[in-house]
Structure 1
């Protein structure tokens, strides 16, 4: 279901979605009240599994409609459409806290915006990935190795080493905000090591993401700033449109923000952060790669493994898109695979005690 007060935006999204034969548009509505009515009158074959929901609409806006949509059975997945503004970022994080699964940047009506292959890829991946996850039960087992029956994935190393890393880097993209929240909820308030988060997000959104993650009861979370001291017990989020790096100065390690060109079509990207961490800390780096399109993080994880650090990855069953973690797993680099929750529990066990 497409719910947006702009008929232009509804038509643009429909054209992009209908290029995939696995997606069917079952309704196009202009406000939240119409969305609720459409859900209530639809027979099961035509009931929306995924609702793309604008937040700013007349009659009934998206934030008002969101909890009411999520009360419907069977419960649809809601992906909110957000303007790329500071206000839009704040509204997006509020929607994620209220139960939305993900967000997409609201497309412009220009031909260039609609023809952007990255936007189209993200849109299709989120709609199909969340639809797949929405059909599965929420409960999943603890950390587990990749199934041996999947011949395309090499046998992975299993078993946690009882070695506390000096620093942890968590990389994520498509589906990442909810995966990060699930993982960080499981961490102690003051872990023995600092952690860096690199989430593919535009400028402005990462500050709101950090604020959102900071409310979950885990370690303090903030958006990284140039010159911040890398301190144990804190999580630093790479700011949008900047790579996050480290440099040693005396006995301290400081954070650096870089405007170097995008890598893997992303800035921030996971690979430059992992390169920098390996150069600074050597073998004592822990990398955790969560759901996301593409293979950002693969090259960095290869360096981590070569330096005898540890690499973990989200499993395929719980990933919205098993691109980034799948690339790491297929390369045989992932010592552990699991859900964000189980990886969070493992990190809490590993990093919750002092070195």
Structure 2
């Protein structure tokens, strides 16, 4: 086990355990995190076995866990880390490969909270500012939320009812557009799995993820929900009852061409530091389906999707948002709620029921 030299910081700094078999990687990530006054690296470990002992010895808020390590890898250590540090959120760090993506989704099923894709071999010395900034933002966001140690946090009914609601559309939804980021994969799996079947409208999804990962995300959505799900390709026709996931690195929009609606992929500049961004998808959905657009904002840091949500409401459509208690990070849905754009703010099960009721109105 390797103890990190941590400078004195604010008493409420996010406490981090870094786990990576590369000494260079540990040193670099420690330096990046120490540059943020709101983060403190408490200790580090070079394998899963040492990480478990470190988690027992040091209270931490966030564990950054590498996948491939000697002695005990990240996947083997993950369930025991969840047990050793039940209040901690675990950020998996894996390479941008098909194998890395599949292992990441396995980790999410085992209790990891989120994932970040490291560049390929030699990443520690080649990583640029974009990766560094994303890494630090994720660690800070995961650690800043007050987490329950044993039971889910309960929100008083009066607090849940205190937000300004937008008027829902009277039109029956013709499409569902879902945006998500940090914590999004598990939220997406639960939501789409719980939707009343059959689903007779298309579902378009933008989840902040890198290339390769989004294709595996679509596979897992299909497996969990029983619906057809695909990573989007350019000019793919949109069909009812099918889920389309924006590919990593490209914005996804919809456009009407004659009687058909097709997906358009663009390489336009990132929005809110994101590509894919939720905004282009929501704006284009509002332009195509108008008041019959149903937008859903799930857990995620930042405010990506806020402008797209404005477009949906301005077109007469309906926005739903995940509530704070069930979100990993209540940034994106919180921005929609605080702007008075959400018709309802609900946990995942409530969102699935609300969507089902709105769709049922047209049957």
TM-score under structure 2 length normalisation: 0.85
2:90 alignment partner in structure 1: 78
Counterparts of 2:195 and 2:346 in 1: how far apart (Å)? 15
1:328 alignment partner in structure 2: 336
Contact kept, 8 Å, 1:67 with 1:99, in 2: the verdict is yes
Structure 1 residue 6 corresponds to structure 2 residue 15: no
For the residue of structure 2 that corresponds to 1:38, the secondary structure is helix
For the residue of structure 2 that corresponds to 1:120, the secondary structure is helix
1:87 alignment partner in structure 2: 99
Counterparts of 2:113 and 2:200 in 1: how far apart (Å)? 31
2:306 alignment partner in structure 1: 298
Counterparts of 1:10 and 1:334 in 2: how far apart (Å)? 42
Equivalences, count? 343
After superposition, what is the alpha-carbon deviation per residue over 1:150-183, rounded to whole angstroms, capped at 9, x for unaligned? xxxx62247x666420111001112222222232
2:8 alignment partner in structure 1: none
Change in CA separation of 1:340 and 1:227 when aligned onto 2, cut-off 3 Å? same
Counterparts of 1:270 and 1:303 in 2: how far apart (Å)? 12
2:253 alignment partner in structure 1: 245
For the residue of structure 2 that corresponds to 1:210, the secondary structure is helix
Counterparts of 2:191 and 2:156 in 1: how far apart (Å)? 12
Structure 1 residue 113 corresponds to structure 2 residue 113: no
For the residue of structure 1 that corresponds to 2:104, the secondary structure is helix
Within a 5 Å distance, the mapping from 1:211-290 to structure 2 comes to: 211-290=219-298
Counterparts of 1:74 and 1:254 in 2: how far apart (Å)? 44
Structure 1 residue 156 corresponds to structure 2 residue 171: no
Structure 1 residue 137 corresponds to structure 2 residue 183: no
> Greater relative contact order (Cα 8 A, min sep 6): structure 1 or 2?
1
Cα drift, residue 109 of structure 1: 2.3
For the residue of structure 2 that corresponds to 1:216, the secondary structure is helix
1:17 alignment partner in structure 2: 33
Cα-Cα RMSD? 2.7
Cα drift, residue 248 of structure 1: 2.1
Counterparts of 1:213 and 1:71 in 2: how far apart (Å)? 27
Cα drift, residue 16 of structure 1: 2.6
Structure 2 residues without counterparts, runs of 5 or longer: 1-16
TM-score under structure 1 length normalisation: 0.86
Structure 1 residues without counterparts, runs of 5 or longer: 149-153
Counterparts of 2:214 and 2:80 in 1: how far apart (Å)? 28
After superposition, what is the alpha-carbon deviation per residue over 1:62-113, rounded to whole angstroms, capped at 9, x for unaligned? 1111122223364643221111222211211111122211112337323763
Change in CA separation of 1:117 and 1:48 when aligned onto 2, cut-off 3 Å? closer
Cα drift, residue 275 of structure 1: 1.9
1:65 alignment partner in structure 2: 77
After superposition, what is the alpha-carbon deviation per residue over 1:121-156, rounded to whole angstroms, capped at 9, x for unaligned? 233213434xx33546337689998442xxxxx622
For the residue of structure 1 that corresponds to 2:224, the secondary structure is coil
Counterparts of 2:226 and 2:113 in 1: how far apart (Å)? 20
1:35 alignment partner in structure 2: 51
Indicate which of 175, 178, 192 corresponds to 1:170: 178
